[in-house]
Amino acid sequence: MERAALDLLKGYASLFIQRWDQYAVQQRDGSYWRVREPLTLEHLAAHLAGRWTLGTYLLDDACRCSFAVFDADLPDGLECLALLAGELAAQGITSVLEASRRGGHLWLFFAEALPAQLVRDFLLPYARAFRVELYPKQERLSAGGAGSLIRLPLGVHQRSRGWYPFVQLTPEWELAPVGATVWECCAWLCEQVRRVSLPETARAAFSGAASEGQAVRERQALLPGGASSIRAWCQVQDIFAVIGRYVALDRRGVGSCPFKEHHYRGDLRPSFQVFGGADPHWYCYTWRRAGDLFDFLRLYHGLSPSEAWRRLQEGTLR
């Protein structure tokens, strides 16, 4: 292998491989086989050449990760993730966007391997606000478990038989590939990726837990009423009563959408509806966007996900 190609391969590995003791191989139906053998640069070269397709496990044995991934498997997934990338950039967190078979992936690379619990505590509010999945999906590994995996980028997807590039916004505000070939994309990644550090406030909140039991108690006390997650908090709220303070709702939960910037000449024909039941949420038929109560309050007050999360912890998001 030529020196330039080897350098790109090592650069690729430094970004996307957290653990080298095992990997997964994608099958033609899209499923994966776990391989409990060391991963090598030769394996990665075969992946990038399209000879097979590999998946990587995000957590090492110490339950740390050196990157995180937002996954949006929707027709507008890339556009959604581009908005999320802008939100993160406003907080000083850089990311890179990859196209995928059904949407896209947004990758964040850390300056050092971080506890998965810290990563999830900080990034999960963003995932919930933008209705996307977050990897890693676990805070810790079960005995003998490997945790969640994600397909390594730039390889051939075994179901679609195609490969998907990284993309960026053009001056015309369109998403375009960063390169025409796998190796051009690798070169762009090695030049453009900037590793990030999480804010000190997030680190301080995490390091304040002296033991696992204390950490659990503190996380449960983060939200009013002892709820242990945003979803749990939303479930115990009266969504009609809370949103009803901002929107005049009829008996069906229908009202004029408060997010006027998404409506031509305003919402003259009420297109906003609130739903209760097991999955309380709201939906705007014109905007074609849905969300839970946390999403509504964040958008209504113009808050970033991290700021809304902080206010929710303080009991001032209402």
Residues 218 and 304 in one domain: yes
Give domain status of residue 207, yes or no. Answer: no
Residue 44 phi, psi (nearest 5)? -65, -35
**Any idea what the CATH number is for the domain that residue 280 is in?**
3.90.580.10
Verify that 152 and 183 share a domain, yes or no: yes
Q: 133 and 196: one domain?
A: yes
Residue 117 counted as domain residue:
yes
Report the chain's mean pLDDT, rounded to a whole number.
86
Per the domain annotation, does 127 fall within a domain?
A: yes
Domain co-membership, 57 together with 182 = yes
Question: Sorting pLDDT into bands at 50, 70 and 90, what band is 209?
Answer: very low
The answer to the question of residue 88 being in a domain is: yes
Which of 84-88, 126-130, 150-154 has the highest mean predicted lDDT (pLDDT)?
150-154
In a domain, 206, yes or no: no
Is 178 part of any domain?
yes
* pLDDT score, position 215: 43
Cα gap 264→260, rounded to integer Å: 8
**170-179, 255-264, 265-274: which is most confident:** 170-179
Whether residue 186 lies inside any domain: the answer is yes
Q: Give the rounded percent of residues in the chain with a pLDDT score beyond 90.
A: 52
Q: Is residue 28 within 8 Å of 159, Cβ to Cβ?
A: yes
Do 102 and 135 lie in one domain? The reply is yes
In this structure, what token pair is assigned to residue 273? 């509806």
- The answer on pLDDT for 270 being more than 50 is yes
Do 195 and 216 sit in the same domain of this protein?
A: no
| pLDDT average, residue stretch 307-311 | 82
Q: How far apart are the first and last CA of the chain?
A: 60
User: Could you tell me if 182 and 231 lie in one domain?
Assistant: no
| Torsional sign, CA 233, 240, 260, 74 | positive
Q: What is the pLDDT of residue 201?
A: 65
Number of domains in the chain: 2
| pLDDT attached to residue 128 | 82
* Cα–Cα distance for residue pair 12/6, rounded to 1 Å: 10
pLDDT band with cut points at 50, 70 and 90 for residue 212: very low
Tell me what the mean pLDDT of segment 230-257 comes to.
90
Residues 147 and 184 in one domain: yes
Domain that holds residue 254: 212-314
The answer to whether 94 and 104 have CB atoms below 8 angstroms apart is no
Which residues 6+ apart lie within 8 Å of 213 measured at CB? none
Q: How far is CA 272 from CA 183, 204, 249, 275, 282, in A?
A: 47, 40, 9, 10, 7
Residue 210 or 28, more confident: 28
Burial class (CB within 10 angstroms; exposed 0-12, middle 13-18, buried 19+) of 24:
buried
pLDDT at 234 over 70: yes
Q: Which of 200, 221, 255 is the last residue of a domain?
A: 200
Cα–Cα dist 147/277, whole Å: 32
pLDDT in tens, 88-137: 998 889 999 999 988 999 999 999 999 999 999 889 888 888 889 999 99
User: Of 69 and 285, which is predicted with more confidence?
Assistant: 69
**194 and 221 housed in the same domain:** no
**Type of residue at 109:** F
Tokens for 248, please give them.
């005049």
pLDDT at 226 over 70: no
84, 96, 103, 194, 301 from 89: Cα distances, Å: 8, 11, 21, 12, 20
Predicted confidence band of residue 307 (pLDDT cuts 50, 70, 90): confident
Domain boundary pick from 172, 200, 228: 200
Please indicate, yes or no, whether the overall pTM of this predicted structure exceeds 0.75: no
Q: Are 167 and 141 part of one and the same domain?
A: yes
Position 224 confidence tier, pLDDT thresholds 50, 70, 90: low
Question: What pLDDT score does 162 carry?
Answer: 92
| Span 183-207, average pLDDT | 83
Q: Which CATH number do you get for residue 16?
A: 3.90.920.20
Would residue 205 count as lying in a domain?
no
* Residue 204 pLDDT: 65
How far is the C-alpha of 209 from the C-alpha of 79, rounded, in Å?
A: 37
Q: Which of 144, 170, 200 is the last residue of a domain?
A: 200
Q: What pLDDT, on a 0 to 100 scale, did the predictor assign at position 194?
A: 93
**111 and 34, same domain (yes or no):** yes
Average pLDDT over residues 64-85: 91
Ramachandran angles phi, psi of 8, nearest 5°: -65, -40
Specify whether 173 is located in the same domain as 266: no
Mean pLDDT across 283-303: 88
pLDDT of 62 > 70? The answer is: yes
